[in-house]
Amino acid sequence: MERDTIVHRVRTALRRTATDPRPDPPAVYFRIPEWDRAERIRRFTDALEALGGRVHIAPATAVAETVCGILRGRTALISGDPFLRECGIPQLPGVEGPFANAAEIRSAAVTADVGITVSAYGLAETGTLVVFPNEAESRLISLLPPAHVAVLRARDLLVNLDELLSRVPDPGAASSAMVMITGPSRTADIEQILVRGVHGPGEVHVVVTDRETE
Amino acid sequence: MAIEQPAKIEETLQDGRVQLAIYAATARLMVKRKDSIAPDRCPDYQELRTRANAIKRHTIENLDYYLEQVEKSVTERGGQVIFCRDATEVADFVLELAKKRDAQLVVKSKSMTTEEIDLNERLEHHGMEAVETDLGEYILQLAHQKPYHIVAPALHLTRYDVADVFSERLAAGREVVPEKQTLIARRALREKFLAADIGITGANFVVADSGAVVIVENEGNARLSSSAPRIHIAIAGIEKLIPRAQDLAVFLRLLGRSATGQPLTVYTSFISGPRRGAEADGPDEFYLVLLDNGRTKVLADTSKRESLFCIRCGACLNHCPVYRKIGGHSYPWVYSGPIGAILSPQFMGVTHDPWLPFASSLCGACAEVCPVKIEIPRILLELRSEVVAAKTREKKNRWERLAFRAYAWIARHPSVWSALGLFGAAIAPDEPSHWIRQLPAALNAGPVREWLSQRDLPPPPSRTFRDLWRERQGTRVQ
Task: Establish whether the linkage from the previous residue to B447 is cis, with ω within 30° of 0.
Answer: no
* pLDDT for residue B149: 96
Of B90-99, B149-158, B204-213, B433-442, minimum mean pLDDT range: B433-442
| pLDDT surpassing 80 at residue B395 | no
| pLDDT surpassing 80 at residue A202 | yes
Question: Which of A102, A152, A180 has the alpha carbon at shortest distance from B220?
Answer: A180
Chain segment B56-76, per-residue pLDDT in tens: 999 999 999 999 999 999 999
Smallest Cβ–Cβ distance between B245 and the set A143, A170, A192 belongs to A170
How distant, in Å, are the alpha carbons of B58, B242, B372 from that of B53? 9, 11, 5
Work out the number of other CB atoms within 10 angstroms of the CB of residue B389: 11
Chain segment B294-352, per-residue pLDDT in tens: 999 999 999 999 999 999 999 999 999 999 999 999 999 999 999 999 999 999 999 88
Alpha-carbon Rg for chain A in angstroms: 21
Which tops the pLDDT comparison, B446 or B209?
B209
Q: B276 to chain A: which residues are within 8 Å by CB?
A: 175-176
Of A132-136, B174-178, B472-476, minimum mean pLDDT range: B472-476
* pLDDT for residue A211: 52
Distance CA A205, CA B315 (A): 32
The stretch B198-217 carries a mean pLDDT of 98
Contact B266 A5 (CB under 8 A): no
Chain segment A29-81, per-residue pLDDT in tens: 999 999 999 999 999 999 999 999 999 999 988 999 999 999 999 999 999 99
Residue A34 forms contact with B (CB below 8 Å): no
Strands (E) in B202-322, as ranges, are: 205-207, 212-217, 231-237, 241-242, 267-271, 285-291
Question: Which of A123, A119, A99, A121 has the alpha carbon at shortest distance from A109?
Answer: A99
- The C-alpha angle with vertex B164 and arms to B160 and B167, in degrees rounded to 5, equals 130
Distance CA B103, CA B94 (A): 10
Chain segment B232-262, per-residue pLDDT in tens: 999 999 999 999 999 999 999 999 999 999 9
Q: A163 to chain B: which residues are within 8 Å by CB?
A: none
In terms of CA atoms, which chain A residue is nearest residue B295?
A10
Look up residue B393 and give its amino acid: R
Smallest Cβ–Cβ distance between A22 and the set B65, B78, B210 belongs to B65
Name the burial class of residue B138, with classes exposed (0-12), middle (13-18) and buried (19+) by CB atoms within 10 angstroms of its CB.
Answer: buried
* pLDDT for residue B461: 84
| pLDDT surpassing 50 at residue B182 | yes
pTM of the model: 0.87
Burial B457-477 (b: 16+ CB within 10 A, else e): eeebeeebeeeeeeeeeeeee
Of A7-11, A99-103, A109-113, minimum mean pLDDT range: A99-103
* pLDDT for residue B156: 94
Residue B395 forms contact with A (CB below 8 Å): no
In terms of CA atoms, which chain B residue is nearest residue A9?
B296
Q: B71 to chain A: which residues are within 8 Å by CB?
A: 3
Question: Which of B154, B174, B178 has the alpha carbon at shortest distance from B165?
Answer: B174
Residues paired with residue B288 on neighbouring β-strands, in sequence order: B81, B234
Contact A133 B134 (CB under 8 A): no
ipTM score assigned to the predicted complex: 0.96
In angstroms, the first-to-last Cα distance of chain B is 64
Residue B351: which residues within 8 A CB-CB, separation 6 or more?
B387, B390
| pLDDT surpassing 90 at residue B392 | no
Reported as a pLDDT band with limits 50, 70 and 90, residue B5 is confident
| pLDDT surpassing 70 at residue B77 | yes
CA-based torsion, B383, B388, B389, B393: positive or negative = positive
* pLDDT for residue B402: 86
Smallest Cβ–Cβ distance between A6 and the set B85, B133, B253 belongs to B85
Q: A125 to chain B: which residues are within 8 Å by CB?
A: 263
* pLDDT for residue A213: 41
Reported as a pLDDT band with limits 50, 70 and 90, residue B427 is confident
Distance CA B213, CA B274 (A): 12
CA-based torsion, B182, B147, B108, B257: positive or negative = negative
* pLDDT for residue B455: 72
SS (H, E, C) B409-443: HHHCCHHHHHHHHHHHHHCCCCCCCCHHHHHHHHC
Helix, coil or strand: residue A16: coil
Q: B207 to chain A: which residues are within 8 Å by CB?
A: 172
Which tops the pLDDT comparison, B465 or A130?
A130
Min Cα distance A94 → chain B (Å) is 22
* pLDDT for residue A214: 36
Reported as a pLDDT band with limits 50, 70 and 90, residue B396 is low
Residue A104 forms contact with B (CB below 8 Å): no
Of A84-93, B84-93, B215-224, B400-409, minimum mean pLDDT range: B400-409
Percent of chain B surpassing pLDDT 70:
95
Look up residue B444 and give its amino acid: N
Reported as a pLDDT band with limits 50, 70 and 90, residue B104 is very high
Helix, coil or strand: residue A128: strand
Mean pLDDT of chain B: 92
**Most B-contacting residue of A20, A189, A191 (CB-CB within 10 A), to test interface:** A189
* B49 and B367 Cβ atoms separated by less than 8 Å: no
| pLDDT surpassing 60 at residue B478 | no
* B425 and B463 Cβ atoms separated by less than 8 Å: yes
* pLDDT for residue B1: 43
The stretch B384-403 carries a mean pLDDT of 81
Distance CA A63, CA A85 (A): 11
Helix, coil or strand: residue B10: helix
Question: Which of A133, A22, A204, A110 has the alpha carbon at shortest distance from B281?
Answer: A133
Chain segment A141-163, per-residue pLDDT in tens: 999 999 999 999 999 999 999 99
Work out the number of other CB atoms within 10 angstroms of the CB of residue B76: 13
| pLDDT surpassing 60 at residue B477 | no
Contact A190 B272 (CB under 8 A): no
H-helix or E-strand spanning residue A187: strand A186-187
Q: What part of A 113-172 touches B (C-beta under 8 Å)?
A: 123, 125-126, 128, 133-140, 143, 161-162, 165-166, 169-172
